[in-house]
Structure 1
């Protein structure tokens, strides 16, 4: 079982999504009787679930008396035709929430499904799949939760969670040593410092700095990654190595087998296709 974010962290977004969809009035729903109804949400493809509590919260915002049953749970892989939610409540409430609820459930489950494919691809290597900050504004917390449902690991939930000194940061301060020393002075003691490098010379510079906790290997070839792992191991440093850039599903296992600790994959949140689920009233 996965622990979703507390509803207070995303409830305002759900209200905004519903207001956007409703406009001034849902004339279609207003034209049909409002009466007690039952409905169910069914998977129309093989997928990994994510966002069931979010879907339930969306329905409750449209109809506070909605009764919702969840026979399946987030992180669970289900097949075509599987019933993942049952609900009883006002027909108007169901209709008003249906599209927003399904859009969110399909998108989050799509992210979890793609993440699981990457996780399965590197199984047995010891490497783990990371997300990135390439998320949808307003959906970051939920998309990163969906990554966890798929078996992935969150990198940073926001900029305050860690220091990641990338190319532009290094250019702004004048190099790796200056950037790391400045970051250590500014950031709280428990905040980790990671540095993005593009070549082995920059990696060697990081290995000489005790305040560096991890290194992001940006767009390196496989042989460079293997050498980077060897350099780290020979140094005796315990800093982690993260591979980033062009991490496709087809390439993921080869990257993981170089010995890196993490593969960061922006596609998990910015390019995952939505999966197919449908709601049917009985």
Structure 2
């Protein structure tokens, strides 16, 4: 049993990443005279989506980039959104495109995600990007999973040979983080809210990733001593998908909520946009 678990401080690491990105953005501007641009698309007026888009715009500004905000009305059709994405795909100034999830129910979200050009898919949401990442080919990974991997690597936590249990199977979080862990030679079990014997499976985890989207769904007593605990959830009241309180003196390491995975998502999105801008210069 560990005395105190290692805190995986996503807030601190994201600040370090931003400091490095600021230097890289300044170099791009110096070489080309062009400021890299991230386009964000928000459909409708979901308050939490508005907050997330604003946070992403602020992060762009902090590193010296620009963000172009495309705000479409609630009643936007799939065709109208596809046309808006197409316009951004064909705009040479745009280095990355982010379509804020979720979109209103009448829109075919998957068709719209997949319309994003692969070289501008800096949020890692296209089927093509997911396939390439899964096959260990060059691609921008889904921002939250890629941020989680960056955090584990930064703190030099061993992944190869470990049993990782991912609770959640969403196309932009559970599935991609499972593939990324597999690519780093972990043995991966993917579970979800309908998995039988979930507590028994979680008890086997050396690395547990909570990505189920339900507040404190994963109980502390299900998690063995000295596990690495990654909580990718965020709910009202500042709690995640895992009951973290009792784990702070039992786990080997854990991500706090807030201040763990969240800041890494935004920092990774910005980092992948900068990488896209650098590729544009090189091509």
TM-score range normalised by the length of the shorter chain: 0.3 to 0.5
* Rg (Cα) greater in structure: 1
What TM-score does the superposition give when structure 2 sets the normalisation length?
Answer: 0.33
What TM-score does the superposition give when structure 1 sets the normalisation length?
Answer: 0.33
